[in-house]
């Protein structure tokens, strides 16, 4: 029987994705009435929106208006028993992407007021962090990020102990995908990974999200400075200045999974098809390299000694500089070490519905 992929950023997709992988990523926007909704695109790109005369931008609609079109609220996700069991009890990891409003929306402040969008992001971060705390989510089981340069500063201004990081190069919250690529390209050229790592550390980030273009193909030679790669001297060079910090990589194809995992990086995949269990080479696909130990025992069901043994193995394989005790101490049966190398489902079970906006 063929698999029916659930709609991206839906509760169904996130519930299935968090069970299948070590964790998931999803997108949040804040509505006109100050509520959080699971939604990627800045526009309500469904035919029903035009039929009922709703505003163009998500931030100009109420939560009820959006949910009536079939989208899900963040509150409803936090009340979903299946999703929350995996997150709270089974050591899964969640990436929450805070989406920036279009400048022309009521929350965007116009083209000359970026401070309005920054204030909007701060409010989103504060609200979502409060909700995670109230739900009992552990700090090391989540990270907040956004295509905005001020994520670290805003996190500090909130007095937060949550993990938060800027996605760089920053993609503007307007324009077609072609326009966005053109506007982002100069930043990509001017920011080799070594500079990005340094900047993230200055912002207080403890995780590096990067695009696949930095690691493979002709695009990896474009940024100024020495290039990096997924193998050989290029990988060694990257690992030297990365210093063991965890890395999440997006725009990942199936063929990238094994090289990324072997290099100690976390792929953000769009392929959650349960029938995809082996690669053409015959190698088995590992969808839970972190939460399912080598002997097929789930991390949360393993003993202290089994978890410690796995940490020692990971530390040796990826040359983590922290001592075993320093890695073991903040981890538990319900929370993996921060440096754990995981497979993550993009928007739950992958992108659906055509091009991004």
pLDDT in tens, the chain (357 residues): 689 999 999 999 999 999 999 999 999 999 999 999 999 999 986 766 665 778 999 999 999 999 999 999 999 999 999 999 999 999 999 999 999 999 999 999 999 999 999 999 999 999 999 999 999 999 999 999 999 999 999 999 999 999 999 999 999 999 999 999 999 999 999 999 999 999 999 998 889 999 999 999 999 999 999 999 999 999 999 999 998 889 999 999 999 999 999 999 999 999 999 999 999 999 999 999 999 998 899 999 999 999 999 999 999 999 998 999 999 999 999 999 999 999 999 999 999 854 333
Structural domains in the chain plus CATH codes: 11-346 (3.20.20.190)
Cis amide prior to 271 (ω within 30 degrees): no
From the number of C-beta atoms within 10 Å of its C-beta (0-12, 13-18, 19+), residue 140 rates as buried
| Nearest CA among 248, 251, 241 for reference residue 271 | 251
Cβ atoms of 117 and 123 closer than 8 Å: no
Phi then psi for residue 211, to 5 deg, are -85, 150
| Nearest CA among 279, 210, 275 for reference residue 249 | 210
């Amino acid at each position: 029987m063929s698999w029916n992929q659930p709609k991206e950023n839906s509760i169904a997709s996130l519930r299935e994705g968090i069970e299948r992988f070590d964790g998931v990523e999803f997108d949040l926007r804040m509505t006109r009435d100050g509520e959080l909704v699971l939604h990627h695109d800045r526009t309500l790109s469904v035919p029903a929106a035009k039929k009922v005369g709703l505003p163009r931008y998500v931030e100009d609609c109420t939560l009820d208006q959006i949910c009536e079109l079939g989208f899900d609220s963040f509150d409803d996700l936090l009340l979903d028993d299946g999703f929350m069991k995996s997150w709270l009890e089974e050591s899964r990891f969640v990436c929450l992407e805070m989406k920036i409003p279009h400048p022309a929306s009521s929350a965007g402040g116009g083209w000359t007021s970026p401070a309005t969008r920054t204030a909007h992001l701060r409010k989103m971060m504060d609200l979502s962090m409060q909700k995670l705390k109230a739900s009992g989510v552990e700090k090391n089981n989540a990270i907040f990020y956004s295509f905005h340069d001020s994520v670290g500063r805003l996190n500090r201004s909130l007095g937060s102990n949550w993990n938060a990081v800027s996605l760089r190069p920053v993609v503007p919250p307007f324009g077609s995908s072609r326009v966005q690529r053109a506007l982002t390209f100069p930043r990509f050229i001017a920011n080799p990974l070594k500079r990005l790592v340094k900047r993230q550390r200055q912002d207080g980030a403890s995780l590096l999200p990067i695009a696949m273009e930095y690691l493979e193909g002709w695009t990896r030679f474009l940024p100024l400075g020495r290039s990096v790669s997924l193998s050989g001297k290029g990988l060694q060079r990257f690992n030297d200045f990365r210093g063991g910090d965890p890395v999440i990589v997006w725009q990942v194809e199936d063929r990238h999974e094994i090289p990324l995992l072997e290099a100690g990086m976390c792929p953000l995949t769009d392929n959650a098809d349960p029938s995809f269990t082996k690669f053409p080479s015959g190698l088995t696909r590992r969808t839970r390299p972190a939460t399912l130990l080598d002997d097929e025992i789930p991390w949360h069901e393993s003993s202290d000694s089994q978890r410690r043994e796995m940490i020692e193995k990971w530390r040796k394989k990826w040359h983590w500089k922290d001592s075993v005790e320093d890695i073991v101490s903040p981890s538990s049966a319900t929370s993996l070490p921060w440096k754990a190398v995981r497979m993550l489902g993009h928007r739950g079970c992958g992108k659906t519905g055509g091009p991004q906006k």
